[in-house]
Structure 1
Amino acid sequence: MSHPLGVSRPDLEVTDLPTPEEVFKVSKVGGKEIVKYAIGPSLIALGISIGSGEWLLGPLSVGQYGFVGVGWVIVVSALLQTFYNVECSRYVIATGETPVVGWGRVPPGWALWVPLSVLIVIFAFIAGGWAASAGQGVYALVHGVPPAADAVEPRWWAVGLLVLVFLITASARRISRALELANWVMVSAILLALLAVCLLVVPFSQWWEGILGFVTPAAPPAGITATQLGGLAGFTALASGLNWYVMGHYRDKGYGMGHRVGYIAGLRGERNEIRASGVTFPDNELNRGRWRRWYRLLMVDMWGVFFVGAMLGMLLPTILMAQAVTMSGQQPTRANVPTFVASALGDEYGTVVFYVALVVGVLVLFSTQLGIFEGMVRVTTDAANATSPRLRALISGDPRRFYYPFMIVLLVIISVIIFQSVPVGLVEWSANMSNLGALIYPFLLMYLNSRLPRPARPRPWHYVILVLNFLFFGFFFVNFIADFIGDPLVTF
């Protein structure tokens, strides 16, 4: 028995959904088990999210222009992106296929969408701006002062952080699980440290101004560019139209049909073959009930962890930046924003606070580069494994034989690019390129999800929100391109 879905790819095999208890190897899934076993992919996404928009672009915009006219863009972006994440994950849980493989089922077929999608992801994220920015923080930790704008040593620290990403994945038994654990530690440390610092140094009036800025609709502030605002929108909660490249972790976590398809093992793990094509479930009472359970776990992971964490991850750094601007009497620039808050706090409160802020900044940016770097390798590995029988034969069905050599190649390329531009400039480029995905993938997703087994299909209003993703983020991309080649369509 099989389920046809789309074109140019094999039909999906049909079998029953596993239960959460079967996947997580527990007798019953309650609150403790949800925290211990079910939560995870959202943490990887959150580790990426709290970095680019939250630590660099959001604070830079607020530091230069204030909260009004900027805050509402942050909230709308976070709401739309979290919903989009749920819709991408719906497909993964229902079929066990990662989105980059699923795109190959959309007409005209995999020969267009799969390589194009891999190229878009790599083109958007290969700049390495997060590693470069984290390298600035490491330099300041070592030397006690922020680096000069043209300093070379921070770039070498950035290369070292990329090597650390390789070592983390290489030492894992199951790569997704290693990323989850690393982000449990880093995200918890980041949010707790930011909360403590904000409670100590940010007055209540600044908290209130930040919260009001989030919920007050207003025109963008005069002087902010289309590129800045588009970067802020694109990277507020992840990567707008390209969020799908992270949602494949639900397969490796074993959510739904991901349990039937396989995962990418680390070098210390057992060899594990990933099926080239996905699996889905029959429409009957047994599987309808199991689907509802998996969908509830997804909602907890995305709305209860990712959305809440992303909003806190944006509020805390932005109010801290606003306070740093007040204390220092200066505004951040693209060159100094990675260490601006630490410098301002250090001048006001001393060396200890300076180093605490630097450590938080390095963790924020490293967690982002960890997820992005690994995600580029993962997407390419999944695409190649699913579409090339010759490659599967060459690697003897072991994805690691492609994954790790390709990671080394990317490491070398990113290391070269890091030396070519200001880190925040690299991040702004990546953010606006992410908005390109919003012009394409919401419609591919609507095609795929409308053809899932009936219990897994979205409701009609879900399609409306996907169109809103297209309109909101697509506008910023079109404006960015117009600004890049000449004059923006809209100026503020």
Structure 2
Amino acid sequence: MADPTPDVPAAPATRPLGVSRPDLTVADLPTPEEVFGVRRIGPKELFRYALGPSLIALGISVGSGEWLLGPQAVGKYGFEGVGWIIVVSAVLQTLYNIECSRYVVATGEAPVVGWGRVPPGWFLWVPLSVFVVIFAFIAGGWAASAGQGMYALVHGEVPGKDAEEPRLWAIALLVVVFLITAAARRISRALELANWLMVGTILAALLLIDLFIVPFSGWWEGIKGFVTPAAPPDGITATELGGLAGFTALASGLNWYVMGHYRDKGYGMGHRTGFISGLRGERVKLLDSGVTFPDDEKNAALWKRWYRLLRTDMWGIFFVGAMLGMLLPTILMARAVELSGTRPTQANVPTFVAAALDEEYGRWLFYAALLLGVLILFSTQLGIFEAMVRVTTDAAHATSPRLRALLEGDPRRFYYPFMLVLLVIISVILHLALPVSLVQWSANMVNLGALIYPFMLMYLNTRLPRAARPRLWHHVVLVLNFLFFGFFFVNFVADFAGDPLITF
């Protein structure tokens, strides 16, 4: 006699992680070959398909810290006492980035969604994290600085202090960012390709200009300054030093806001959770909760492969690029100061090098430096503007069932309207202060993240599958991030209130 009980499909295995969010679904890790559609990952496939998310972070980094705050600090105070802070910041931030990305690769969740698993829950950490990111970057100093460069490139002269046209150019470049994302099939891939082109051009052009005009003594002073510990120079303020530390490499404690691109790239479990596609791409389902892998030998071996790819991307592209991106502009700025006999100010640092080279070498190098500056600052504009929209979209999509129903499973219906709203808000704000002062404000605000997120990462990452859990020294690195960048934030707040804890 046949069994009348119908077959009931087994419920998928799940794994609890943290509080206030659904359990993670459990599935096998994909292979890198499966994700990238290749037979094997050799050197060619590595560069063509696997590497890239760190380039988006590097594109942001090269514009804010490396082209503005680093050269301004070196131009005013020299390399001694400044260079070692740059190196320490870059090393700590690269290690911190790896820890942020560890969570993304192991769960397929963007960090802003993962924070919702930390007690007391998403209702505190998700809205707070979105607010901190937007508050830190909405000032628009990166956009205003790019607008200054565009004005000088078009008119052949540095804009006046209160000129309106540079701000209009800044707004126009924000519109270009919108058009790039709208024209993409897969937004993260479009940003990668744009940054491969821009960052590659930037570093190659900077190297050629430096080889042409910077004497050997200038190269040696820069390299020596990077590796020689010394007290900060007399006269540098807590705000300047904190801004330099915060925006060297990327954004110190808020670096996590860019690491969600590893999900969209398909790294590890990101392949299982979906991505945000562009308007030209097909609608792709983006899961509102993550997926992780079982604790078994097969998945432990696959995790090691993904973790190697992550470290290669971070150390081979992000760290090396960030160090070159800081060395090449700072020695160029030092040479420009030497040639002009003056020092950069907050008002003229975006165009200072071009003006100095114009007087010494003629208009061709003036325009070359301006074009280079615009590329550098636009790469930052592209990454920051898109990331603010991405973080808000991920947070809203993951935490609001009502919004998901309204969007009918298509996060683009929130992503693009919110980008337009943000464009209008930034267009108003960037009229309120000098570009570099806005960037310094943002750079010090990102140090606030170092007081919060390292400990949240410890909570999350120690609850991952065993193969993905960090070792003790990884926790030590996170504490060092807290101490280093947290000190600069506390000193910035004290300085802002009128009485810094430490003066130099």
Q: CA deviation at 1:346?
A: 1.1
**Distance across 2 between alignment mates of 1:403 and 1:453:** 32
Match of residue 222 from structure 2: 210
Match of residue 87 from structure 1: 99
Match of residue 167 from structure 1: 179
1:312 and 2:311 correspond: no
Any idea what the Cα deviations from partners look like across 1:103-126, whole Å, max 9, x if unmatched? 000000000000000000000000
Match of residue 383 from structure 1: 395
1:270 and 2:282 correspond: yes
Match of residue 100 from structure 1: 112
Counterparts of 1:422-441 in structure 2, within 5 Å, are: 422-441=434-453
**Distance across 1 between alignment mates of 2:199 and 2:70:** 18
**Distance across 1 between alignment mates of 2:137 and 2:430:** 12
Which one of 467, 479, 495 corresponds to residue 467 of structure 1? 479
Match of residue 246 from structure 2: 234
**Distance across 2 between alignment mates of 1:17 and 1:8:** 25
Match of residue 149 from structure 1: 161
Letter in 1 for 2:352: F
Letter in 2 for 1:322: A
Counterparts of 1:451-466 in structure 2, within 5 Å, are: 451-466=463-478
Any idea what the Cα deviations from partners look like across 1:349-403, whole Å, max 9, x if unmatched? 1111000000010000000010000000000000000000000000001000000
Match of residue 204 from structure 2: 192
Match of residue 294 from structure 2: 282
Any idea what the Cα deviations from partners look like across 1:38-77, whole Å, max 9, x if unmatched? 1110100000000111000000000000000000000000
Query: Percent identity of the aligned residues?
Result: 78
1:357 and 2:369 correspond: yes
Match of residue 3 from structure 1: 15
**Normalising by structure 1, what TM-score?**
1.00
**Distance across 1 between alignment mates of 2:307 and 2:486:** 28
Match of residue 119 from structure 1: 131
1:491 and 2:491 correspond: no
Which one of 180, 183, 201 corresponds to residue 213 of structure 2? 201
Any idea what the Cα deviations from partners look like across 1:193-225, whole Å, max 9, x if unmatched? 000000000000000000000000000000000
SS at match of 2:431: helix
Q: CA deviation at 1:187?
A: 0.2
Root-mean-square deviation over aligned CA pairs: 0.4
**Distance across 2 between alignment mates of 1:460 and 1:86:** 15
1:343 and 2:351 correspond: no
Which one of 309, 323, 329 corresponds to residue 297 of structure 1? 309
Q: Aligned residue pairs: how many?
A: 492
Q: CA deviation at 1:150?
A: 1.1
SS at match of 1:308: helix
**Distance across 1 between alignment mates of 2:72 and 2:53:** 28
Which one of 441, 444, 450 corresponds to residue 462 of structure 2? 450
1:403 and 2:415 correspond: yes
Q: Which protein shows a greater Rg?
A: 2
SS at match of 2:25: strand
**Distance across 2 between alignment mates of 1:64 and 1:360:** 22
SS at match of 1:227: helix
**Distance across 1 between alignment mates of 2:463 and 2:418:** 33
Any idea what the Cα deviations from partners look like across 1:316-343, whole Å, max 9, x if unmatched? 0000000000000000000000000011
**Distance across 1 between alignment mates of 2:286 and 2:100:** 19
Q: CA deviation at 1:273?
A: 1.5
SS at match of 1:75: helix
**Distance across 2 between alignment mates of 1:329 and 1:276:** 57
**Distance across 2 between alignment mates of 1:338 and 1:273:** 42
SS at match of 1:154: helix
Which one of 260, 284, 301 corresponds to residue 272 of structure 2? 260
Letter in 2 for 1:65: Y
Any idea what the Cα deviations from partners look like across 1:122-180, whole Å, max 9, x if unmatched? 00000111110011011011110010111111000000000000000000000000000
Q: Runs of at least 4 residues of structure 1 off by over 6 A?
A: none
1:24 and 2:2 correspond: no
Which one of 32, 51, 64 corresponds to residue 52 of structure 1? 64
Match of residue 328 from structure 1: 340
Structure 1: gaps spanning 5 or more residues:
none
